[in-house]
Structure 1
């Protein structure tokens, strides 16, 4: 009788462990950095501009990107993006597909229009644009 309950208890514990580990949220930030490139010249050329490794800034930019109202749209601009950036893990053994974020700054420098990859577009609020410019810009 005890053996029957022991086997059932072990099975229940194993099942619960599988559920708990499978449903636990992923680590929000596995120590990432942001690699920023800036448009130079009149052609579609970019140079490495800045590397952002401050964890608070990286998390803030990730939050802005996650909460942005991305729309499926193929957009074309009259000039190349002012900035491009990607998130990259600090640990070189962690591999992931990098998503390129392209940023166009409005003439008044108060709004950002952005693409995520090649098919998603958003326009950030003035507040988010200003904060993002502080982080990735000058």
Structure 2
């Protein structure tokens, strides 16, 4: 009887752990950095630490987005993507990111004509998550 209980307990723990691992799979942010003066992005970094991924997604989702087509004077500094679920479908959210000329804020736009200029604090936090460096000031 003790062996059966032990077996069932171990099986339950394994099932729960595998469910958590499946949930974590795909939870990453891929970042590309623009190379020199071209509009060519090269793979730069992947963020896979769960806490950082959640924080970055929270910053982006809670930003005060505006719906407007942005005519930029230059190429984006970075491009980043992360997966999300919408109507039980796996999708990829893709963003272009600029560092403002004063180096204090980040501006983000999407292909669907959404734009946001992040606050100083959100800019600093997101930049550190995406690059591993502090936002220059």
* TM-score, length basis structure 1: 0.71
Equivalent position of 2:122 in the other structure? 128
Taking the aligned partners of 1:96 and 1:39, their CA distance within structure 2 comes to 26
Q: How many residues align?
A: 106
2:97 pairs, out of 97, 103, 108, with 103
Gaps of 5+ in 2: 1-22
Equivalent position of 1:62 in the other structure? 57
Taking the TM superposition and a 5 Å limit, the aligned residue runs for 1:1-138 are 30-31=23-24, 32-88=27-83, 96-137=90-131, 138=133
> How many Å apart are 1:95 and its aligned residue?
6.1
Shift >6 Å, 4+ stretches: none
* TM-score, length basis structure 2: 0.71
Q: Is the CA contact 1:35–1:88 (under 8 Å) kept in the aligned structure 2?
A: no
In our comparison, the structure showing a higher alpha carbon Rg is 1
Equivalent position of 1:8 in the other structure? none
Gaps of 5+ in 1: 1-29
Taking the aligned partners of 2:126 and 2:118, their CA distance within structure 1 comes to 9
